[in-house]
Amino acid sequence: MTEIIMTLTLRSPAKINLWLRVLRRRDDGFHDVDTRMCPLDLADEVTLEPSVDGLAKLTCSNPELPVDESNLAMKALRGYEKRSGTTQAWQIHLEKHVPHGAGLGGGSSNAATVLLGLNRLNGGVLSDEDLHEIAAELGSDVPFFLYGRTCDATGRGEVIEPVETFDWELPVVLIKPGFGISTPWAYKNWRDSKELAGVFYGVQTQPWGEMINDLERPVFEKWIWLPTMKNWLLEQEETVAALMSGSGSTMFAVARSEADAAVLAESTRKFCGESTWVQVTRTRK
């Protein structure tokens, strides 16, 4: 007899972009990109359990985040309802560890995790293609998080190709200042932005790929803290490479080892002060 699962808790991982090339602005207002995204050990937790009053509801450990229909997790539930033709009366709880507005994909990951969880709770009534189409409607990064592995993404980010030969679990230090950055703003200002003198924007060639982020140009122009942070990270002996993730505001450094990552994190905390969020994690294959 099939076991009926009534409560489900799933990891909802963060991500970094090992590279992000912006190719062109499309007629629909989006931009074509070429990016490689890696899931991280750092993750939120998403719990789904039956709603006591028959209504879908959302709660969150971070009081600064909305818990109404504007949250991507609720939009994912509504998208699942529409595609499946069912009513989904679940209480969703987000236990947040991934900061908001960080370029780490926290909200997109939560949405994808809700889709995966609902489909599991409903006996897999929707196909992988169905889930991907719902995810793509929710946001460009959401489809990636359905795969749970390192992937290349093209189109506006919704065309996903899993990477078959990514064998690295990279020790990473994440650094997020006390401000976030709007992804639409970063893309809107990409074309007309200019490089700052004294800041390294070029390719950082590594065994796992050519690390570069084209969105550093517009973002660094407005938020000078970020290029200062990147230059400082690249000067540290523990750092192999340093880059902004997504549209920011998180900077990340790949360290030479987990021990070096711990040393670098401590140095970063001293350099940045208490208002900056610093986290050691690693990529997952």
Burial 255-270 (b: 16+ CB within 10 A, else e): beeeebbebbbebbee
Domains detected in the chain? 8-162 (3.30.230.10), 171-282 (3.30.70.890)
Annotated binding residues, written as ranges, equal 99-109
The pair of structure tokens assigned to 174 is 């994440």
Buried b (16+ CB within 10 A) or exposed e, 232-254: bbeebebbbbbbbbbbbbbbbbb
Q: Which residues contact 23 (CB under 8 A, 6 or more apart)?
A: 31, 32, 33, 34
| Amino acid at the residue 284 | R
| 3-class secondary-structure state, position 41 | strand
Q: Is the pLDDT of residue 52 over 60?
A: yes
Mean pLDDT, residues 16-28 taken together = 96
Mean pLDDT, rounded, for 230-256: 98
Q: What is the mean pLDDT of residues 242-270?
A: 98
- Extract the annotated binding site for ATP: 99-109
Please tell me which residue in 15, 75, 96, 176 is annotated as part of the active site.
15
Catalytic-labelled residue, pool 44, 141, 214, 260: 141
**CA angle in degrees (0–180, nearest 5) for 34-38-39:** 140
Q: Provide the whole-model pTM.
A: 0.95
Instruction: State residue 156's pLDDT score.
Output: 95
Q: What is the largest CA-CA distance in the chain?
A: 67
pLDDT digits (tens, 9 = 90+) for 214-225: 999 999 999 999
Is 194 noted as a catalytic residue in this protein? no
Q: For 266-278, what is each residue's pLDDT tens digit?
A: 999 999 998 999 9
**For range 80-96, the mean pLDDT:** 98
Residue 47 has pLDDT above 70, yes or no: yes
Please say if the pLDDT value at position 238 is more than 90: yes
